[in-house]
Structure 1
């Protein structure tokens, strides 16, 4: 059993959070309203893509990296885009200017590793500042629900005190929070990619998570996602490009077995994928990615995007390396879509309940 699988099981066995609930999203409810969302720390737009596929309307992205922001702008041209430091994002002025209110969901993945566990801010830690800026924007906009993602390791940082501090921060602005580790592969993503998902709301309602749809033995294989792409012919128009290899380098790659790495020092990069299984977690590392399961080259940016469940129509701006970096940092859209489907009945419940104060 993998580290995060053990952590996931321990979390579920010991979690007495009264707000967390798992719901079946195989046949999702219809939206009773057009629900708007804001994506903070949006990156290229993995969460935006997934929530859009679930039927929600992206109103704006906030992203400091200009290349990732350009990708978001290209793929969501009707969305407003703030490229800059979130500290300079004035949410109330922005809402007034674009005349979109309310914002029903705020999503994002702020860094939380610098969060103080002593109840005080360390203003010298930029990661700490970014998390508090996320909380500040949520407090100003007052969305119905919040979706925040991070790496699963955040839950054990400083023996769980960081997780509790995050809950306390949500509670301080009037939100009841829950957390779950969702394995992307359990939602038909052809990749092993566990994520810690915090969901919170300000009505003391349930925080819904999608029920897993596949057992481990049913996970989607890597070949099902990438086998139809050209083996050695590049297609730059859709980011089907990879690191160029010399003949000697390809001969070295040919000797790497599934699960093995080309380098001892970069054991997590240039590692051959296992055929017939879901992809290992994809990311850009030292200019490279994992080795193709049966070809003597690394996987391309488009193959990475397929493994993340981005559609081929989703084009990434910047160089090949920058495209790989954006893809590797994204939340799989299909995972975000399932989270969105889980939220729908509870958003509908808020919309239908006239006794709930949504101001």
Structure 2
């Protein structure tokens, strides 16, 4: 184990700190970060701009993007209230869903993201009551109170571990997520990240993350989930870190796979199931030559399989199943039989389906007609590829929604009791 040099592939374990040591380091770092933020009227008035609902679980979404994780939570919250079948049926139609979505047990009250086009998409598809903050999260002085905080924080500084992640200035976004939950004091937080986080630093990175979140006052667990196990026609593995506030009467349980090859499971959803009806009218797709990097591996699945992971790039989008399969010609070299004209990348509409967004969901391209169509399309590919698949998010949120229902009922009973006591005097 190399200890004297830092760099790619080099790591050393974090010091064996106690939970109090970690907490003190964490609080000192967050205090330092917060002290550098210049307070302004926008942040001071933020609390007044946020619309809370006492009979719902109020939700903050960090690094919200176009809202895949948010939409999945909202759908799970609606299913908890009106029923699974009814919610999924309503989800197919924009007008029907918009008439019912206010019944969801979850209400997003605040989002934060710097991606302009993603924020525009969010505004097109979510209620106006959501306060959208298009601002560098490092410059947000105050976060509102909430019941849940969700988001997928980027991890630019996680290529190696230690001495402590919170001491590495490259991990400012990770620190901001923790800063938010310390300020906001939610009952639960859910953070999503890439599969590689589990093996970075030979496991030291995820170990430190769990310790750091736990020191903020949460019981924390993590698990690797594959989206295809929850009705998503895509091979996409992601880590979900879930924290429950210490003292809360709730133990989170990860969702059991609903799709697969077991007797009690639904069959995996295939590309044919998801996008087979779009063959004649797929909508616009990214065009252009395929680089040597793109052709270094297979990019095409068959109709009876699930898609490769949808990436945040039009140029890197998987190939459509039609046409001959790619052929391996050598090490890291594949070819497109019949020429490029017999192959195309998946369209925006197709990858949105593969990410389980409904057809009515709109994705902004920025509206700048002076730039190329590929440039505008890439804005949409980026939003969709960065998003958590909606049905995967729904699965993760389901047990939380069921618990939230019981908590809201308890609130109502408590309010009734208080009103009754007041009436006696």
Question: 1:209-224 counterparts in 2 under 5 A?
Answer: 209-215=254-260, 218-224=267-273
User: Do the aligned partners of 1:40 and 1:108 also contact (CA within 8 Å) in 2?
Assistant: yes
Is residue 326 of structure 1 aligned with residue 375 of structure 2?
Answer: no
Counterpart in the other structure of 2:394: 337
Deviations 1:191-242 (A, max 9, x none): 11111000111135412211111225831101111111253x46xxxxx310
For the residue of structure 2 that corresponds to 1:47, the secondary structure is helix
Match of 2:217?
Answer: 174
1:255 maps to: none
- The structure 1 residue matched to 2:252, chosen from 207, 226, 232, is 207
Partner in structure 2 of residue 292 of structure 1: 320
Q: 2:63 maps to which residue?
A: 41
Partner residue, 2:202: 159
Q: Quick check: 1:82 aligned with 2:82?
A: no
* Aligned equivalent of 1:184: 227
Alignment of 1:87-102 (within 5 A): 87-92=138-143, 95=144
TM-score by length of 1: 0.75
1:309 to 312, 334, 356: 356
Residue 61 of structure 1, CA deviation: 1.1
Tell me if the contact between 2:155 and 2:174 (Cα under 8 Å) persists in the aligned partners.
yes
Alignment of 1:18-37 (within 5 A): 33-37=55-59
Distance 2:298 2:382 in 1: 15
Structure 1 position 147 matched with structure 2 position 194: no
Counterpart secondary structure, 2:220? strand
- Tell me by how many angstroms 1:167 deviates: 0.9
Paired with 2:315 and 2:297, the residues of 1 have a C-alpha distance of 9
The structure with the greater share of residues assigned to helix is 2
Q: What CA deviation, in whole Å up to 9, does each residue of 1:126-174 have, x standing for no partner?
A: xx00000110011100111001000111011101111111111111110
The number of equivalent residue pairs is 292
Structure 1 distance, partners of 2:296, 2:312, is 10
Which residue, 149, 160, 163 being the options, matches 1:118?
Answer: 163
Deviation at 1:77, TM superposition (A): 3.7
Change (3 A) 1:276 1:124: same
Task: Tell me if the contact between 2:314 and 2:377 (Cα under 8 Å) persists in the aligned partners.
Answer: no
Superposed CA offset, 1:313-352 (max 9, x none): 1111111111011111110011111111121233345556
SS in 2 for 1:139: helix
TM-score, normalising length: structure 2: 0.64
Give the whole-Å Cα distance in 2 for the aligned partners of 1:350 and 1:156.
Answer: 37
Cα distance, 1:351–1:168 mapped onto 2, change above 3 Å? farther
Q: 2-side partners of 1:61 and 1:147: how far apart? A: 14
SS at match of 2:205: helix
CA deviation map 1:33-57 (0-9, x unaligned): 4222111011111101111111221
Structure 1 gap segments, 5+ residues each: 1-31, 96-101, 235-239, 250-261, 355-359
- Per-residue CA distance 1:96-116 (angstroms, 9 max, x = gap): xxxxxx521100011235255
User: Does the 8 Å contact 1:243/1:288 carry over to 2?
Assistant: no
Structure 2: how far apart are the matches of 1:120 and 1:272? 38
CA spacing shift, 1:163–1:287, aligned 2, 3 Å: same
> What secondary structure is seen at the aligned counterpart in 1 of 2:132?
strand
Secondary structure in 2 matching 1:54: helix
Aligned-CA RMSD value: 2.4
Q: Tell me the distance in 2 between the aligned counterparts of 1:51 and 1:268.
A: 37
**1:225 match:** 274
The structure having more radius of gyration, on CA atoms, is 2
Q: 1:65 aligns with which of 88, 97, 115?
A: 115
> Structure 2 regions of 5+ residues with no counterpart?
1-53, 78-105, 324-342, 366-375, 412-425
In structure 2, which of residues 307, 311, 319 is the aligned counterpart of residue 279 of structure 1? 307
Taking the aligned partners of 1:120 and 1:193, their CA distance within structure 2 comes to 26
CA contact (8 A) 1:272 1:291 kept: yes
The answer to whether the 8 A contact 1:42-1:48 is kept is: yes
On the 8 A contact 1:35/1:104 being kept in 2, the answer is yes
